[in-house]
A and B are shown apart, each in its own frame.
Chain A
Amino acid sequence: MTAGGILRILLALAVVFVLVKPLGAYMARVYTGQRTIFDPVLRPLERFLYRWSGVDPEEDMSWQTYSLALLLFTFVGMLLLYAFQRAQAVLPFNPQKMPAVSTDLSLNTAVSFATNTNWQNYGGETTLSYFVQMAGLTVKNFTSAAAGFAVLVALIRGLTRRQAQAIGNFWVDLTRSALYILLPMSIVVALLLASQGVVATLSPYKTAALLEPTSYDEPITDANGKPVLDAQGHQKTRPVTITEQTLAVGPAASQIAIKQLGTNGGGFFNVNSSHPFENPTPFSNFVELISILVLPAALCYTFGRMAGDTRQGWAILAAMTLMFLPLLAVTEGFEQAGNPLIARLGVDQRAGPLQSGGNMEGKEARFGVPDSALWATSTTATSNGSVNSMHDSYTPIGGLVPLVNMHLGEVVYGGVGVGLYDMLMVVILAAFVAGLMVGRTPEYLGKKIEAFEMKMASVVVLVMPLIVLIGTALAVALPAGRAGASNPGPHGYSEILYAFTSMGNNNGSAFAGINSNTPFYNDVGAVVQWLGRFWEIVPVLAVAGSMAAKKIVPPGPGTLPTHTGQFVLWLAAVTVIIGALSFLPALALGPIVEHFLLGAGTVFK
């Protein structure tokens, strides 16, 4: 790797860590109702929203009421997004005259954006009108991210309140997350991106003349879209010469800003942040990368502040970073080393003044290996899912890391709110197991960890592997599932495993190479995404309610300290062990075996 590449990675991480404390402290002020610099503008708007919607901001909700409010809010939003897609042909802001989206694809997209997954079985510029992108997807980007924040804040209250019956008000947490955190930051990031050339317009697509005509053979299909074959069984083609191309544009900048800050990840265009109108320059790439990482990392400090002991937040952030850095090094190392089969041909893949070197298949020349690998690691460590390179084209081990990041439960920084509340479930497990091992009282932040919390934390940790592995097994077993993979052998299996891993973790990134816009993947994927989100959130809120009702015991000689370096190591170890026990066999069948076969020169055609 070049020195420039290493410097860019270090600079990006340094900026994120410098922002953790001020941003984390600001968010703690937002959630504890303290005054912020935006109060003069936003407080009246917030009060108006409560009055208009009939919300009593003073109401304190039990965990059951909080869950019900969250579920009903999400359900109604999901129905609305579904209706927008089905009716988009008659709705405004549709200059390209996009027809209604099919039922199965509308279902998948509605669930995907309601659950903060943003798995996209559609191409934005070929399927959706500006209205659906703005009023449907962008709105869900805000609300689903704000819901993630809300669940985390409710859990923090549960861990820190003394003998309380309530964990806060969902409507207030949702509103304050969107108004005071996501909205101001999105405006700043959208303006920065627009300054770099990210498009922001409501005008129709543009037509541009090509510098020289281009000819190619176009496959011929029948009225049903099936290939027309010749006598030898080959697909018939016809020569085509084109002299102009259509440039898709649209109101992208505002959607890109929230897609990164809210760890949503759904691109305005099909190829996401590889598209030059979505991520045009190295600086826009830098801004988007920081936007992916900064809020999940800063929430650790927010947690520490709200818990009254910032060391607890720093300890969790340290454990996350302890897992993130080696995984990043593995991706960077394998991608920069390049493809061993190409090396055997005597091709020089080393980085130098005249070439980026490494495995550049599926990567943008303006980003190169370092920024692509850093993005791939970050987008899967968090629950973001946007891509600036095609993960399907990574080396087997380079592609293994994004899978592992998700298999760890996306707790390495994780999605906004989601990553930390999932990590806090692992903390509860780790504290309980460590307490049993060394004869200490299993407690966290002065609250005893008992059977109910352990059961719920176990459910949270086990739901994801269960739905990912069942979904993958179904797809591998059924012809409809196997038909989606475009590669034979272990790589095709990795494509399927990645798809269900991404949907089950509400990540949304695609390995690519898989055609998942089919009724099978749309319908099964919708179920997997919903269960991956809400079958975890409800037990998390149950833990919040249960912990809130307990009294806080002052630390004594029998207390296991949870802010020390020893606990940080233990927490990272427990996270890795849970992930490895759940997914190592599945990974062995995909990227691991592909790595060894590639080394031996075996390829599948």
Chain B
Amino acid sequence: MLSMVSSSGDVEGVVTVNDVLVIGLMFLLLVSTLVWVPGLTRLMRP
């Protein structure tokens, strides 16, 4: 629940390449979860 270092911003008020990458990663996590159980059950099918 705690950290030793605080963080300040890199760029303010501007959408950076990193922002796009981060949102892409979030989207990837969502998609991976949506296919998680259907994919898993297909894999487990004898």
As a 0/1 sequence over residues 4 to 26 of chain B, the CB contacts with chain A under 8 angstroms (1 = contact) are 11111111110010110111011
Which residues in B have their C-beta under 8 angstroms from that of A103?
10, 16, 18-19, 21-22
Partner of A89, one of B3, B12, B23, B36: B12
Which residues in B have their C-beta under 8 angstroms from that of A527?
25, 29
- Closest chain B residue, CB of each to CB of A270: B2
**Is B1 a contact of A515 with CB atoms below 8 Å?**
no
A109 CB to closest chain B CB (Å) equals 10
**Is B37 a contact of A542 with CB atoms below 8 Å?**
yes
* Known pairs A86-B19, A527-B29; A387 contacts B12 (CB<8 A): no
Which residues in B have their C-beta under 8 angstroms from that of A539?
36-37, 40
Which residues in A have their C-beta under 8 angstroms from that of B41?
452, 455
Interface size on A, residues (CB 8 A): 63
Which residues in A have their C-beta under 8 angstroms from that of B18?
103-104
CA distance A397 to B13 in the complex (A): 48
As a 0/1 sequence over residues 23 to 45 of chain B, the CB contacts with chain A under 8 angstroms (1 = contact) are 10110011001101100110010
**Is A516 a contact of B7 with CB atoms below 8 Å?**
no
Which residues in B have their C-beta under 8 angstroms from that of A89?
9, 12-13
The winner among B8, B21, B22 for most chain A CB atoms within 10 A is B22
Which residues in A have their C-beta under 8 angstroms from that of B44?
455
Which residues in B have their C-beta under 8 angstroms from that of A387?
1-2
Stretch of A40-48, A122-130, A474-482 at the chain-chain interface: A122-130
CA distance A48 to B36 in the complex (A): 35
28 pairs, CB–CB < 8 Å, chain A vs chain B: A71-B33, A75-B26, A79-B23, A82-B22, A99-B9, A100-B8, A100-B9, A101-B9, A102-B10, A103-B10, A104-B22, A105-B7, A111-B29, A120-B2, A122-B6, A122-B7, A123-B3, A123-B6, A267-B1, A455-B41, A508-B1, A510-B2, A515-B3, A516-B3, A531-B29, A534-B36, A535-B36, A539-B36
Q: Enumerate chain A interface residues (CB-CB to B < 8 A).
A: 67-68, 71-72, 75, 78-79, 82, 86-87, 89-90, 98-107, 110-111, 118-123, 126-127, 265-267, 270-272, 385-387, 452, 455-456, 459, 486, 508-510, 512, 515-517, 523, 526-527, 530-531, 534-535, 538-539, 542
Q: Enumerate chain B interface residues (CB-CB to A < 8 A).
A: 1-13, 16, 18-19, 21-23, 25-26, 29-30, 33-34, 36-37, 40-41, 44
